[in-house]
Structure 1
């Protein structure tokens, strides 16, 4: 085993670079010079071997710098919900450190559910500070792949189904993180919507769907946020792996969008030296993820962009032209991160970070249903609250794949409710209800929990029902977990139903107590055949370190829920385009090596499909209730018509008509009344979250431009806004439009 200490020249540069510049030392050390000058100067001083070295890994998560020139090693680490614990140099085993615990922030589905870009900025800044303290130069996240099917195992790491919402939420996350001098690496570019057989899936998608649905969030990350890193995806597009894909990386990312950062391979995502050289890959990681087990003195030297590439240059197959472009990008990344002497030291597990995690979690929790106003729990009248379900006591920060964390602290839902209610002389009892996954380990990190229970399902249900009859409220914490074939990397879900026969428990509890609250812990929608029998339903996500406190805040009314769904919650899989058209999970080719998956639903994903098919989801995109009530007034436009060079503003009043302070999210959708190509009935093109005291009214203004009216014309290969009649549809959910405004594009 190698023992290593992270290279420290970057720290020394803060001391020596000013004197270096004064003494006429190399330009690359002089931070007063523009980055491009520094890049060119450093490039001229590098040997071929040094250039080759910086474009591939030297360990599981690092690449070498240039020791001769005082350029330090570059360290990546997994996100996007916290800084992953350190592993050994050449193995996935834990490094055994005691200072690599972290704050676990809520999953990105929860962040998207806040519909609050300011909260996203706070998220990025907080995670960036934790990464700085841990001496990480790049966090592998955030993820913005589109929620195409609720069976997607990695949906919890992404930002929902709508390209506009994901775009608005990813930009401030990146800006917040990179303001700390830590590179974001947006993933997985692109069309990475399956986990099962993800290395073999070849996506077949039309150009309209590609540009309108699957690329906008990545484009916003590049052209608006200026992201410094992009991670390629495992899957294929047009029969090329996406970590070296001519169309995605060269034509679109680096060509059309003029991306000046680094394309990083997903770990093991590179497959061929020539394609990697020619098709846009800049830094190769994890090709042989078992380190040095291939019998060579250093497996990293045998990566596709290592010795094989150097040999092709030496034999004249390639000049250094392509190599120099890759090295320039890597140097640019260095100067933005580990060669930036103005970077702060960061902070780890601070009170501010726990406060941020709790705020994000509480604002993202969605009140899906509240019949009879069962919620919030009446703490003045209640004397006994029963908590049921394994998810009330199971840690969720460990597991799920590469986003698994070693959290310094995780507040469980049961503990959070006890801490909140027992101080009010309210007894909190617990019944298991069901036994699911009693393990708690991922990649050497263990929860230390003992969750085994030998009782039969019938005994568990009987206990829960008996206690439920004596309780004032029953809170069932169910849903999914981060085990394989649930919300986890590497596999998709096998069923839309809840696992572990939870439906039976819910149905029995609904008969035993009329104040039943179901809290769904997941990153995905699930089937709810008992929906009409359960008065209150809450979407609780994976909330990280402060889960228990945040959930207790909402359930007891200390926080008024304001989250809105970032995806459509279908009644059944048959209400999802990918399943209705039998395109998921694709078809194996004759040689059984590649799966072709055609996205036959095209641009009609999520609520776009529901509108087209006129299906009624269980809960609509953008849906989320509150403990107060709001009235959205009649929307007014700043003009009756616009030209393609103009912008148009819509103003609407929002009044809190209830008795509790709270936040409402005004959503603006655009309907094209007469298009030459098929378009969704409506598309989200603006939103604004507003906080109101009881009785307070505020004016909300949302401004759109030509881009909000445009569609991608695949024949012309460009965005087009056709003159004609449009409608702005204003409401607080995709199925609750309360005002319409007609206007014309001249």
Structure 2
């Protein structure tokens, strides 16, 4: 692996010399404006472009190794280096292979999965996340962070849902923007993915998604649009799947028409690794940088494998024959140069840091704020260490590391605090903590050469494991079961979807037996997806703990013992049955060559509202160890002019005995639409912290653009005059007040 610090230092030295001498390094000569950081980026880009040969322009458009692309050595323009994310900086890999390079100084901080970040419902946490992971990427000399992901949660079987921000486009939009802004302050580009309609792993490389324009514009594009227009993302990654019969990595409608024309995106479109399939389409349909084609690296020869990429020699040949547009080539090269000047050639960016105490603290804080208290009857949680002298912890997920595996988000950490470690550390000197396995899931711990080092082998039978767990539960004052999913194939993992909605490894049996053995049972689900809970009526307390990264165990212990009062809210609906999910109710999943989104705009809570289905746990649901009253919902006027606004306010009071935070949610319903619309849609939220007895007024501003829907017949956004209802509550199924108003 090349020493990039030395290379960039040399480039900077050459640049200084060129500027000092007033000379250029290219065919035009003259002052090298492109090397002068005091000049506007666009002026530098045009100067550099004018100095490049045809071959140099093509060379910067495709990979030169597994995760890098070439610069222009003759001009002192450095190469571009990418790293997988979006939950941490992936360990260094070999030049042509997926396996790690064997470095000893590339252990990162594993931040919580993006489902956990979304569950904080707090843009401040998103900014902290972006700042922290951006500093780690900068320290590792990375130019592009391959994330965040904002694909919509369409089905709970999607193996990659844990990498995304849930089912609602508004929530995803508001949470992704601060992440992007803070990452890019480090001189590191985000690469928002996967654009677009990548909502399943089954058949992901070729399935053609058929979706109506209303669903496309209202559900599946808004978070990408916010990332580009509000977040200022410098890169966007195309998806593997097809749309309108074209692969999304070179899709004319998505990339040229929507992204680059309508949204005025000035960054680069990066292919997903292996997502490019056709030279002519790659040349004409919006792709700028090609990575991972023939991802087995050297199968085409050690010296020229990357020259065979679609945007390499085949594209160059088309250009020389006049079969491809030179203007389009210049647009691609211009975009790549703009990226390089923003990242690799930005000498003013901060130094960054890796796995620092501050980053570990941030990871723990985000995880603690994202954990969702789903149920808590009888005050089982938090566990009082003054009373509970023996605590039984049961479940494989209490000890299994979750940072290794799951696909491209797999990481290498210095240490991952497991739930059992966190619980034991918090209870030390106060209570005895005993552990039983309960069930056997996946005993492996190896991904691309990164090994957990854990020995999870087990000789006991299923019956014996349950019997031993029950025996421990009977003699304990409190029981914590830690189960859920893991990062294995067909669970929460890239490349495959889940095969069942229920918990794997016979966990339902274990939970049922524990519920009979001890009424003081708390079930902790570690997952990035909703799961079935046939035992929910017999279990008094349930936590959704997500994949929470390096500090997972400590963050969980903070919540379990009350050091942190939970305030997370679900970013997606937990249906009672898989058939209550709209993608499954209407029969089009997973498809084959084609999958049709028959449910259209009715995704998640929108479908539950429409069909009046009671969820297992609703979108936006999350409890606290205190209680909140939300009332006095009112509007400052009941008529909204076409260019005016209405203020909706509500009083929130902490009616309990401890400090906590509540997320007040604003939904709006259109009562007189000429086209079908959801009963209500999320249009605002505020997270507020209150001391016991404290009251605060929360205010939302409603403007006409918040009332629009996409009219596919007109090809335009429309806000129809008529009656609307504002719903204020603390979950999509827990509305505390409504106000009617009219759009004139």
Q: TM-score, normalised by structure 2?
A: 0.98
Task: Report if the CA contact (8 A) 2:83-2:142 is conserved.
Answer: yes
Question: Offset at 1:249?
Answer: 0.5
SS of the counterpart of 1:703?
strand
SS of the counterpart of 1:668?
strand
Q: 2:570 maps to which residue?
A: 565
Q: 1:256 maps to which residue?
A: 262
Structure 1 residue 498 corresponds to structure 2 residue 503: yes
Equivalent residue for 1:315, pick from 314, 321, 335: 321
Q: 2:28 maps to which residue?
A: none
Measured against aligned partners, the alpha-carbon deviations of 1:648-689 in whole angstroms (never above 9, x if no partner) come to 221211110100100000000001110010000000000000
Measured against aligned partners, the alpha-carbon deviations of 1:356-408 in whole angstroms (never above 9, x if no partner) come to 00000000000000011111001111110000000000000000000000011
Structure 1 residue 640 corresponds to structure 2 residue 645: no
Aligned 1:572-583 pairs, distance under 5 A: 572-583=577-588
SS of the counterpart of 1:633?
strand
> 1:103 and 1:596 mapped to 2: Cα distance?
39
Equivalent residue for 1:172, pick from 163, 170, 178: 178
> 2:559 and 2:472 mapped to 1: Cα distance?
23
Aligned 1:179-578 pairs, distance under 5 A: 179-295=185-301, 297-424=303-430, 426-578=431-583
> 2:709 and 2:335 mapped to 1: Cα distance?
32
> 2:705 and 2:348 mapped to 1: Cα distance?
37
Q: 1:739 maps to which residue?
A: 737
> 1:12 and 1:739 mapped to 2: Cα distance?
64
SS of the counterpart of 2:194?
strand
Task: Report if the CA contact (8 A) 1:20-1:30 is conserved.
Answer: no
Question: Offset at 1:706?
Answer: 2.1
Return 637-646 or 615-624, whichever deviates more.
637-646
Q: 2:163 maps to which residue?
A: 157
Question: Offset at 1:603?
Answer: 0.1
Equivalent residue for 1:669, pick from 667, 670, 677: 667
> 2:213 and 2:98 mapped to 1: Cα distance?
39
Measured against aligned partners, the alpha-carbon deviations of 1:282-316 in whole angstroms (never above 9, x if no partner) come to 00000011111223631100100000000001111
Measured against aligned partners, the alpha-carbon deviations of 1:415-434 in whole angstroms (never above 9, x if no partner) come to 1000001232x000001100
Equivalent residue for 1:600, pick from 595, 598, 608: 598
Question: Offset at 1:119?
Answer: 0.4
> 2:5 and 2:58 mapped to 1: Cα distance?
19
> 2:315 and 2:268 mapped to 1: Cα distance?
18
Task: Report if the CA contact (8 A) 1:113-1:366 is conserved.
Answer: yes
Aligned 1:20-169 pairs, distance under 5 A: 21=19, 23-24=21-22, 25-169=31-175
Once superposed, which parts of structure 1, at least 4 consecutive aligned residues long, lie more than 3 Å away? 7-25
Task: Report if the CA contact (8 A) 1:91-1:291 is conserved.
Answer: yes
Return 308-317 or 704-713, whichever deviates more.
704-713
Q: 1:629 maps to which residue?
A: 627
> 2:169 and 2:271 mapped to 1: Cα distance?
23
Measured against aligned partners, the alpha-carbon deviations of 1:691-715 in whole angstroms (never above 9, x if no partner) come to 0011111111122322210000101
SS of the counterpart of 2:272?
coil
> 2:532 and 2:38 mapped to 1: Cα distance?
58
Q: 2:727 maps to which residue?
A: 729
Task: Report if the CA contact (8 A) 2:586-2:598 is conserved.
Answer: yes
Task: Report if the CA contact (8 A) 1:11-1:341 is conserved.
Answer: no
Q: 1:548/1:326 Cα in 2 relative to 1: closer, same or farther (>3 Å)? A: same
Question: Offset at 1:641?
Answer: 1.6
Question: Offset at 1:216?
Answer: 0.3
Q: 1:708 maps to which residue?
A: 706
Task: Report if the CA contact (8 A) 2:492-2:527 is conserved.
Answer: yes
SS of the counterpart of 1:185?
strand
Question: Offset at 1:22?
Answer: 5.6
Structure 1 residue 6 corresponds to structure 2 residue 34: no
* Residue-pair matches, total: 736
Question: Offset at 1:17?
Answer: 5.4
> 1:581 and 1:567 mapped to 2: Cα distance?
19
> 1:423 and 1:356 mapped to 2: Cα distance?
27
> 2:475 and 2:508 mapped to 1: Cα distance?
21
5+ long unaligned stretches in structure 1: 589-594
> 2:312 and 2:18 mapped to 1: Cα distance?
32
Question: Offset at 1:339?
Answer: 0.7
Task: Report if the CA contact (8 A) 1:711-1:720 is conserved.
Answer: yes
Task: Report if the CA contact (8 A) 2:116-2:546 is conserved.
Answer: yes
> 1:182 and 1:200 mapped to 2: Cα distance?
31
Question: Offset at 1:89?
Answer: 0.4
Q: 1:592 maps to which residue?
A: none
Task: Report if the CA contact (8 A) 1:13-1:341 is conserved.
Answer: no
> 2:364 and 2:324 mapped to 1: Cα distance?
53
Question: Offset at 1:13?
Answer: 5.9
Q: 1:591 maps to which residue?
A: none
Task: Report if the CA contact (8 A) 2:249-2:276 is conserved.
Answer: yes
SS of the counterpart of 1:423?
coil
> 2:366 and 2:720 mapped to 1: Cα distance?
40
SS of the counterpart of 2:674?
coil
Structure 1 residue 585 corresponds to structure 2 residue 615: no
Question: Offset at 1:20?
Answer: 5.0
Q: 1:659/1:75 Cα in 2 relative to 1: closer, same or farther (>3 Å)? A: same
Measured against aligned partners, the alpha-carbon deviations of 1:153-187 in whole angstroms (never above 9, x if no partner) come to 00000000000000000000000100111000000
Task: Report if the CA contact (8 A) 1:434-1:502 is conserved.
Answer: yes
Task: Report if the CA contact (8 A) 1:672-1:726 is conserved.
Answer: yes
> 1:57 and 1:573 mapped to 2: Cα distance?
41
Task: Report if the CA contact (8 A) 2:185-2:349 is conserved.
Answer: no
SS of the counterpart of 1:634?
strand
Measured against aligned partners, the alpha-carbon deviations of 1:243-292 in whole angstroms (never above 9, x if no partner) come to 00011001100111010000000000000000001100000000011111
Q: TM-score, normalised by structure 1?
A: 0.97
Task: Report if the CA contact (8 A) 2:191-2:235 is conserved.
Answer: yes
Task: Report if the CA contact (8 A) 1:568-1:620 is conserved.
Answer: yes
Measured against aligned partners, the alpha-carbon deviations of 1:331-357 in whole angstroms (never above 9, x if no partner) come to 000011011110111100101000000
> 2:6 and 2:715 mapped to 1: Cα distance?
48
> 1:300 and 1:18 mapped to 2: Cα distance?
32
> 1:647 and 1:143 mapped to 2: Cα distance?
32
> 1:640 and 1:65 mapped to 2: Cα distance?
59
> 2:344 and 2:352 mapped to 1: Cα distance?
13
> 1:423 and 1:296 mapped to 2: Cα distance?
60
Task: Report if the CA contact (8 A) 2:283-2:324 is conserved.
Answer: no
Q: 1:653 maps to which residue?
A: 651
Q: 1:720 maps to which residue?
A: 718
> 1:645 and 1:174 mapped to 2: Cα distance?
30
> 2:10 and 2:657 mapped to 1: Cα distance?
58
> 1:321 and 1:370 mapped to 2: Cα distance?
62
